[in-house]
Amino acid sequence: MGRGWEGAVLRLLRAKDFTFTVTGTEDVTPDYRRLRVTDGGLLAATGVHPTMWVRLWFFDGGRPHQRAYTVVDPDPETGTLALEFALHEGCASDWARAAEVGDTVEATVQGTGFQRPEPDPSHVLVVGDTASLPAINSLLAELGSAPATVWFEGALDKLPSSADPERHEIREVPRREAGRHLVERVRAELPGILSGTEHPYVWIACDTATTRALGSYVRKELNVPKARVHALGYWRAD
């Protein structure tokens, strides 16, 4: 089945395509599902880097939709990885809910990357939610012993988190007013932490509008250098 204009653009950009096959499923919570898959040769072809993500293709009424998901627990030797889905309404969540061993999904790799900040951060400032939780886990693991403050929109209870209580502070923030409550909390609390941080690294991955607002605020109002700010919208609110 064709992938429309998005697929055509990715082909022009020499994106690489692979087929994942489901080998196991786990309902972590009623609203969060992990799928184990074989990678169709992806990891051997591309290698692995922190916060690595792939584009998965889903079809709704015959129309193609691509959604980005972080690669979890990649194992190049066995050619396996996991995908984690925060379940809500939509074709990606519908597919994940129904997925069984043997099901397949097409994946494309293009645009993913990670540049470690130099010098290493003296404090990591993270803003995310359930959609970006796998990437947050990967980021915290990569940046080693650096302390971190994480504003997490939602509740982490029973979700897979790699945060270390001794060096990672989690500040749970309920989702209200389409993300505006999170923006207000971060704007109120982030400047005080930055004032005592020599080499900050700010990583933001929420819904597109929230991410755009906070990314602009950190760069333009708090004057954090662009090279030390990562801001990428992970999903679009209706």
Over the chain (238 residues), the average pLDDT of each successive run of 10 is 50 73 97 97 94 93 89 97 94 96 94 87 97 95 91 94 93 94 98 94 96 97 96 81
Measuring CA to CA, which residue among 236, 205, 209 is closest to residue 65? 236
Contact status, residue 92 vs residue 29, Cβ threshold 8 Å: no
Q: Domains for the chain: give ranges and CATH numbers.
A: 4-109 (2.40.30.10), 123-231 (3.40.50.80)
* Helices and strands counted in the chain (H then E): 6, 12
With b meaning 16 or more CB within 10 Å and e meaning fewer, what string describes 163-181? Answer: beeeebeeeebebeeebee
C-alpha span between 173 and 236 (Å, rounded): 19
Q: What is the pLDDT of residues 162-216, one digit of tens each?
A: 999 999 999 999 999 989 999 999 999 999 999 989 999 999 999 999 999 999 9
Tokens 């980021």 correspond to what residue? 139
